[in-house]
């Protein structure tokens, strides 16, 4: 039977601030290995027998980011679905079920978060085979992870009657909300409880039937959202009004806790982590003899049980214990290992005060490449711009700023008013306020240049677009 993976990419990962931010959340970061988490999720599917190209569900702000990261690892999704607003997992999976049913009448959905780590792919494939066999019998299957500690950050699943003792498959007795510490200890002492991993396997038709029974509004609105969707380059943009009318509810609440066909595969030896905090990431990192996990340019003296990650500068730590230290270009986090779940409170304070550090990095990615702020002062700003080969910025103008571009490497084709210029290394051009302009990279290597902006207002919203290859017209 055809298995259609559904990769959910909508999370913001605020507990992994300052690396994870709303415009560049944790699934797009290289946190555990040489590939990003979403790349690892997609590449893991190559080992699964009978798997179709994945359906990826994300939002409009992240569409080019996920497309580029999948392209880098040679993954072509069957579709990249754009949600106009976040409505949790139940509507997202409903959309995937409707789209998968268009391709094949009887399809199994394998629903996967994009931001988890799985260390043993062989075990993963065995579990998928077990879950697929159960799903073919019309069970809605969840993957329950064998707990190693009384964790308070996960929901729990209690196993019921045995479906296959050989393959550790059970009926689901009940779902348990995220417990406090004492309750989590009791669950582990009682036994038969598993962490809810957020991974599922089910027939598309079975899920839609359960929605019709338990959450008919979700089914009706997602059908309308798919019917009113529009193609946008390589993306599938859901109808905004219809999708926004969906209840904001998880698949657990909408279906799994209500269905009489819930089953669970017990995932032992999977090496699974949702990387829900810096402590969770530290727990799966390689450590030295004193329990320290270090990444980047780090020097320590008399330190123990400490996780330090340096992204841009050298970090030195002396005489510290049980800390997490994360350095980025514009922010540094220092936290006790036991308090990293509280990082989200820092993000909330940043949001309430309107600071940019909660949602964007100093380096900002665009479909054509990236730009990075180097310096800024009263009436001036300096950026480093990188344009991918064959890419171009929009045809645009600014009301409040002039720009001076200096090519550092590569070749730039510049449309500056009525002029068309071809600039190479060490050459430059000046663009006055109010002049229509465009920057292109006609070469085969990345174009790097320094942009010096000057003027009374330097905000990113001072852009009037006249033409754009990526559909970003004002």
Q: What is the CATH number of domain 363-467?
A: 2.60.120.10
Task: Identify the pLDDT of residue 474.
Answer: 55
Among candidate residues 206, 183, 234, 232, the one with its CA nearest the CA of residue 75: 234
- Mean pLDDT value of segment 158-185: 93
Asked whether the CA dihedral 431, 434, 437, 439 is positive or negative, the reply is positive
pLDDT at 97 over 90: yes
366 three-class SS? strand
Helix (H) or strand (E) holding 309: strand 307-310
Supply the Cα-derived Rg of the chain in whole angstroms. Answer: 25
Of the chain, the percentage scoring pLDDT greater than 90 comes to 89
Q: Model confidence over 287-303: pLDDT tens digits?
A: 999 999 999 999 999 99
344 three-class SS? helix
Burial of 309 (0-12, 13-18, 19+ CB in 10 A): buried
Domains of the chain, by residue range, sit at 2-273, 278-342, 363-467
pLDDT at 393 over 90: yes
Q: Model confidence over 231-243: pLDDT tens digits?
A: 988 899 999 999 9
Give the confidence band of 153 by pLDDT, cuts at 50, 70, 90: confident
Q: Dig out the tokens for 24 from the structure.
A: 């560049």
Rounded CA separation 316/318 (Å)? 7
Q: Model confidence over 123-136: pLDDT tens digits?
A: 999 999 999 999 99
pLDDT at 428 over 80: yes
Asked if 363 contacts 370 with a C-beta cutoff of 8 angstroms, the reply is yes
CATH superfamily label, 2-273: Spore Coat Polysaccharide Biosynthesis Protein SpsA; Chain A (3.90.550.10)
- CA distance readout (Å), 229 to 172, 204, 276, 414: 36, 20, 33, 36
Which residues lie closer than 8 Å to 196 by C-beta, 6 or more apart? Answer: 142, 144, 145, 154, 155, 156, 157, 175, 252
- Mean pLDDT value of segment 334-355: 95
Task: Identify the pLDDT of residue 12.
Answer: 75
pLDDT at 11 over 80: no
- Mean pLDDT value of segment 25-41: 95
Count how many residues are written for the chain: 474
Burial of 372 (0-12, 13-18, 19+ CB in 10 A): middle
Give the confidence band of 103 by pLDDT, cuts at 50, 70, 90: confident
Strand partners, 3: 51, 108
Among candidate residues 98, 100, 92, the one with its CA nearest the CA of residue 248: 92
Task: Identify the pLDDT of residue 292.
Answer: 98
- Mean pLDDT value of segment 442-471: 94
Task: Identify the pLDDT of residue 473.
Answer: 62
Tell me the pTM.
0.91
pLDDT at 167 over 90: no
Q: Model confidence over 213-227: pLDDT tens digits?
A: 999 999 999 999 999
Give the confidence band of 76 by pLDDT, cuts at 50, 70, 90: very high
Task: Identify the pLDDT of residue 416.
Answer: 97
- Report the 10 Å Cβ neighbour count for 193: 23
């Amino acid at each position: 039977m055809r298995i259609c993976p559904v990769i959910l990419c909508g999370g913001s990962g605020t507990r992994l601030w300052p690396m994870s931010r709303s415009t560049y959340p944790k699934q797009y970061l290289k946190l555990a290995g040489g590939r990003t988490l979403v790349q690892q999720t997609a590449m893991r599917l190559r080992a699964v027998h009978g798997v179709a190209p994945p359906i990826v569900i994300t939002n409009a702000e992240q569409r080019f980011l996920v497309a580029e990261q999948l392209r880098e690892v040679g993954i072509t999704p069957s579709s990249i679905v754009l949600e106009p607003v976040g409505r949790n997992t139940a509507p997202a999976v409903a959309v995937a079920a409707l789209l998968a049913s268009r391709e094949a009448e009887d399809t199994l959905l394998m629903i996967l978060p994009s931001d988890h780590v799985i260390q043993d792919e062989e075990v993963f494939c065995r579990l998928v085979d077990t879950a697929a066999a159960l799903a073919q019998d019309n069970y809605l299957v969840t993957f329950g992870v064998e707990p190693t500690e009384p964790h308070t950050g996960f929901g729990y699943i209690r196993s019921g009657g045995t479906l296959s003792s050989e393959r550790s498959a059970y009926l689901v007795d009940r779902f348990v909300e995220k417990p406090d510490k004492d309750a989590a200890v009791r669950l582990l002492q009682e036994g038969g409880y598993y962490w809810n991993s957020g991974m599922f396997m089910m027939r598309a038709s079975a899920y839609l039937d359960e929605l019709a029974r338990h959450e008919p509004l979700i089914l009706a609105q997602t059908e309308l959202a798919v019917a009113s969707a529009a193609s946008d380059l390589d993306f599938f943009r859901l109808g905004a009004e219809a999708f926004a009318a969906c209840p904001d509810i998880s698949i657990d609440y909408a279906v799994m806790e209500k269905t009489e066909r819930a089953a669970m595969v017990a995932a032992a030896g999977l090496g699974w982590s949702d990387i829900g905090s810096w402590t969770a990431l530290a727990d799966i990192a390689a450590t030295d003899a004193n329990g320290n996990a270090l990444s980047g340019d780090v020097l320590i003296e008399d330190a123990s049980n400490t996780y330090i990650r340096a992204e841009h500068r050298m970090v030195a730590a002396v005489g510290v214990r049980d800390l997490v230290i994360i350095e980025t270009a514009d922010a540094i986090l220092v936290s006790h290992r036991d308090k990293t779940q509280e990082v989200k409170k820092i993000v909330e304070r940043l949001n309430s005060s309107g600071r940019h550090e909660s949602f964007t990095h100093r380096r900002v990615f665009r479909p054509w490449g990236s730009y990075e702020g180097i310096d800024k002062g009263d009436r001036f700003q300096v950026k480093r711009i990188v344009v991918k080969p064959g890419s171009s910025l929009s045809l645009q103008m600014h009301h409040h700023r002039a720009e001076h571009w200096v090519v550092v490497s590569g070749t730039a084709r510049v449309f500056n008013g009525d002029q068309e210029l071809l600039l190479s290394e060490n050459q430059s051009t000046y663009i006055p306020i109010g002049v229509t302009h465009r920057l292109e990279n006609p070469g085969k290597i990345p174009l790097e240049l320094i942009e010096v902006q000057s003027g009374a207002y330097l905000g990113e919203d001072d852009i009037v677009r006249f033409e754009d290859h990526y559909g970003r017209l004002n």
